[in-house]
Amino acid sequence: MQAHRKIIHVDMDCFFAAVEMRDNPRLRDIPIAIGGRVNRGVIATCNYPARAYGVRSAMPTGQALKLCPHLTLIPGQMEKYRQASEQIRTIMMRYTDLIEPLSMDEAYLDVTDSALFQGSATRMAEHLRQTIFEETGLTASAGVAPNKFLAKIASDENKPNGLCVVRPDQVDAFVQNLPLSRIPGIGQKTAERLAALGWFQCDDVREAPLHLVVKHCGSLAESLLQRVRGVDHRPVNTSRERKSVGVERTLSEDLISAEECLHKALELWPRLHDRLSSSRQLKAVKSIGVKLKFNDFILTTAEKACRQVTRDDITSLLAEAWQRGNGKPVRLVGIQIGLQDMSHPQLSFQF
């Protein structure tokens, strides 16, 4: 019988905002948010005083200011955040080589075979959090569990600056009353569809007839049936490869025609090309896609498979996306290149 894994999920607390508060103590006790311009920006993250007013990540800045009129907006400084992230990653490597970064501010660690602290994952997590704080001045929350799914859920239990441990014998009780909306991959619309069936918590799905779960959840059914029982066999993946590269821009003024959107997309192209050229994991082009967000915040994307990228591709995709808006002004334009596994890069651009 295979021994239980010991997985730690580390999630930094309001990371971008925390770096700013660390570097400027005057910001610590007031609501702050990292975001764009007042009328056109989107909140990247905010501190906990701001969250008390209902401000959240991905919220339009204008809406955030209505909820919290005295919110202090700070332009993002990505290089500073990137340096802090690299420092944290270096600390993590003292505990294990099996690290799966999810973003700049969170990662999975597999410490199953680590001999540190007599093999206690709980003590490792406690020491890791303490070391991160001592060396960076930033707080982290952590979850310890037998698998990735439970560790990620646990890391959110006692935020900020908290630790939650789910032992193997506690798994069933932990997930029984867990809201389905907290399962990664269950978005708002899916949660609403499940709620319409009377399924709100993991136990509701566990008790439901199998054929109904398959009927109403489709391709999601297999994964859902595992998660509601606390099962997750995915290993920590130390070689996550980039599957796409994209750029986007929120605009200072709405665009009112497909031609204006195309012009803006062409302005973004040099940035996208630079990212493709500098990517260490660059593979072959698989697809090209465009993204438009209209002034009512409805988002649409149009994509097509291709082996080379041409101006005609972007023109036709933008026309398709624009038509979906029925003439609504556009506040954001983006382009994304899908990548596929190949033994050698095979990029071809006709632009």
Q: Which residues are annotated as a binding site?
A: 11, 105
> Are the beta carbons of 67 and 83 closer than 8 angstroms?
no
Q: Is 12 left (phi over 0), alpha (psi -120 to 50) or beta?
A: beta
Query: H or E segment at 144?
Result: strand 140-145
> Are the beta carbons of 109 and 145 closer than 8 angstroms?
no
In this structure, the dihedral spanned by the alpha carbons of residues 258, 263, 264 and 270, taken in order and rounded to 10 degrees, is 140
> Are the beta carbons of 126 and 7 closer than 8 angstroms?
no
Q: Which residue has the tokens 């651009």?
A: 349
Query: Residue 276's CB: how many other CB atoms inside 10 A?
Result: 17
The phi, psi pair for 9, rounded to 5°, reads -110, 120
Active site residues: 106
User: Using H for helix, E for strand and C for coil, what is the string for 194-212?
Assistant: HHHCCCCEHHHHHHCCHHH
> Are the beta carbons of 328 and 254 closer than 8 angstroms?
no
Q: How far apart are CA 30 and CA 50, in angstroms?
A: 8
| Residues in the annotated binding site for Mg(2+) | 11, 105
Q: How far apart are CA 64 and CA 42, in angstroms?
A: 9
Q: Which residue has the tokens 């602290």?
A: 117
| Strand duo 330-340 + 284-294: pairing | antiparallel
Query: Residue 287's CB: how many other CB atoms inside 10 A?
Result: 17
> Are the beta carbons of 70 and 77 closer than 8 angstroms?
no
Helical residues (DSSP H) of the chain, grouped into ranges: 15-23, 48-51, 61-67, 78-92, 121-136, 148-155, 171-176, 188-196, 202-207, 210-217, 221-227, 258-278, 311-324
Question: Structure tokens of 302?
Answer: 């149009």
> Are the beta carbons of 57 and 44 closer than 8 angstroms?
yes
